[in-house]
Amino acid sequence: MQEKLTPSFCPKNGKYSGGKKKCNWVRWILPITGLSAFIWFLIRVMPKPSRATYPCQRVAMPLASGFIAWLVGLVVSITVFKKAKQLLKESRVALACLCLIIAGLMGIVSLINLPERLANAQGRWRLHGPIGQARGIYPGRVVWVWDPNATDWDGYSSSEHWYDDDHTNLAVVETMVSQAIRELAGKSTDAVAWDAIFRYFNANRGKGDIGYQPGEKIAIKINLTTCNDQWNSCNRATYVKNNPNSIDNSPQMILTLLRHLVETVGVDPGDISIGDPTCRVPNYLWNMLHPEFPNVRYLDNTGRFGRTRVEFSDVPFYWSAPDAAGTLQDYIPVSFAEADYIINFAVLKGHSSGITVCAKNHYGSLIRCPNSYLRDVGVLNYYDMHLSLPNAEWAPGRRYYRALVDLMGHPELGGKTLLYLIDGLYGGYYAGSHPYKWTSSPFGDEGDDWPSSLFASLDPVAIDSVAYDFLREEWPDVVTGGTGKPGSLLGGEEDYLHEAALADGPPSGTFYDPDKDGVALTSLGVHEHWNNPQDKQYSRNLGTGEGIELIKLKGTWAETLRGDLDKDGDIDLSDFTVFASAWLSKPGDAHWNTCCDLSVPAGTIDMLDLAAFMENWMTDIR
The pLDDT, as a whole number, for residue 188 is: 82
Q: pLDDT band at residue 9, thresholds of 50, 70 and 90?
A: very low
Return the half-sphere exposure (C-beta side, CA atoms, 13 A cut-off) of residue 614: 7
The pLDDT, as a whole number, for residue 371 is: 79
Return the half-sphere exposure (C-beta side, CA atoms, 13 A cut-off) of residue 214: 3
Say whether pLDDT at 231 is over 70.
Answer: yes
What pairs with residue 279 in β-bridges? Answer: 228
Angle (nearest 5°) at CA 64 between 58 and 67: 145
Q: What amino acid occupies position 582?
A: A
Say whether pLDDT at 65 is over 70.
Answer: no
The pLDDT, as a whole number, for residue 377 is: 57
Q: Helix, strand, or coil here: 300?
A: strand
Q: With CA atoms as reference, report the closest residue to 234 among 140, 302, 175.
A: 302
State which H helix or E strand residue 8 sits in: strand 8-10
The pLDDT, as a whole number, for residue 232 is: 79
Distance, in Å, from the CA atom of 275 to the CA atom of 271, rounded to the nearest integer, reads 14
Angle (nearest 5°) at CA 287 between 282 and 293: 110
- Mean pLDDT taken over the chain: 83
Q: With CA atoms as reference, report the closest residue to 251 among 229, 294, 222, 280.
A: 222
Rank 326-330, 432-436, 519-523 by mean pLDDT and report only the highest. 519-523
| Angle in degrees, 0-180, between the axes of helices 29-45 and 55-89, rounded to the nearest 10 | 120
The pLDDT, as a whole number, for residue 12 is: 37
The pLDDT, as a whole number, for residue 73 is: 62
The pLDDT, as a whole number, for residue 600 is: 58
Rank 210-219, 544-553, 605-614 by mean pLDDT and report only the highest. 210-219
Say whether pLDDT at 359 is over 70.
Answer: yes
Contact (Cβ atoms closer than 8 angstroms) between residue 90 and residue 81: no
Say whether pLDDT at 16 is over 60.
Answer: no
Summarize pLDDT for 119-159 with one digit per residue, the tens: 334 455 666 889 999 999 999 999 999 999 999 999 887 88
Per DSSP, the chain holds a count of helices (H) and strands (E) of: 17, 16
Summarize pLDDT for 335-347 with one digit per residue, the tens: 999 999 999 999 9
The pLDDT, as a whole number, for residue 549 is: 96
Q: pLDDT band at residue 435, thresholds of 50, 70 and 90?
A: confident
Q: What is the three-state SS of 580-613?
A: HHCCCCCCCCCCCCHHHCCCCCCCCCCHHHHHHH
Q: pLDDT band at residue 508, thresholds of 50, 70 and 90?
A: very high
Distance, in Å, from the CA atom of 527 to the CA atom of 547, rounded to the nearest integer, reads 7
What pairs with residue 551 in β-bridges? Answer: 143
Q: What is the mean pLDDT of residues 494-510?
A: 96
Say whether pLDDT at 41 is over 80.
Answer: no
The pLDDT, as a whole number, for residue 7 is: 36
Distance, in Å, from the CA atom of 43 to the CA atom of 48, rounded to the nearest integer, reads 9
Say whether pLDDT at 71 is over 80.
Answer: no
* Least confident span in 66-80, 172-186, 239-253: 66-80
Q: What is the mean pLDDT of residues 331-336?
A: 97
Q: What is the mean pLDDT of residues 462-490?
A: 94
Q: With CA atoms as reference, report the closest residue to 156 among 286, 225, 247, 250.
A: 247
Give the start-end residues of each E strand in 400-532.
417-428, 453-457, 526-527
Q: What is the mean pLDDT of residues 518-524?
A: 97
Q: Which residue pairs, CB below 8 angstroms and at least 24 apart, start in 151-159?
A: 151/425, 151/426, 151/449, 151/450, 151/452, 153/426, 153/450, 155/435, 155/437, 156/245
Say whether pLDDT at 2 is over 50.
Answer: no
CB atoms inside a 10 Å sphere around CB 361: 26
Summarize pLDDT for 275-310 with one digit per residue, the tens: 999 999 999 999 999 999 999 999 999 999 999 999
Q: What is the mean pLDDT of residues 577-595?
A: 83
The pLDDT, as a whole number, for residue 84 is: 61
State which H helix or E strand residue 67 sits in: helix 55-89
The pLDDT, as a whole number, for residue 617 is: 81
Q: What is the mean pLDDT of residues 217-244?
A: 89
More confident residue, 19 or 60: 60
Q: What is the mean pLDDT of residues 386-400?
A: 89
The pLDDT, as a whole number, for residue 236 is: 84
The pLDDT, as a whole number, for residue 10 is: 40
Say whether pLDDT at 44 is over 60.
Answer: yes
The pLDDT, as a whole number, for residue 124 is: 54
Contacts of 92 by beta carbon, 8 Å cutoff, 6+ apart? none
Distance, in Å, from the CA atom of 182 to the CA atom of 195, rounded to the nearest integer, reads 11
More confident residue, 496 or 157: 496
Say whether pLDDT at 99 is over 80.
Answer: no
Say whether pLDDT at 254 is over 60.
Answer: yes
More confident residue, 527 or 618: 527
The pLDDT, as a whole number, for residue 81 is: 63
Q: pLDDT band at residue 558, thresholds of 50, 70 and 90?
A: very low
More confident residue, 569 or 173: 173
Phi, psi of 100 (to 5 degrees): -65, -40
Q: With CA atoms as reference, report the closest residue to 320 among 412, 416, 400, 205.
A: 400
Summarize pLDDT for 47-61 with one digit per residue, the tens: 655 455 444 554 565
Q: With CA atoms as reference, report the closest residue to 495 among 385, 360, 362, 397.
A: 397
Contacts of 196 by beta carbon, 8 Å cutoff, 6+ apart? 137, 185, 186, 187
Contact (Cβ atoms closer than 8 angstroms) between residue 257 and residue 219: no
Contacts of 153 by beta carbon, 8 Å cutoff, 6+ apart? 160, 161, 162, 167, 168, 426, 450
Distance, in Å, from the CA atom of 240 to the CA atom of 101, rounded to the nearest integer, reads 72
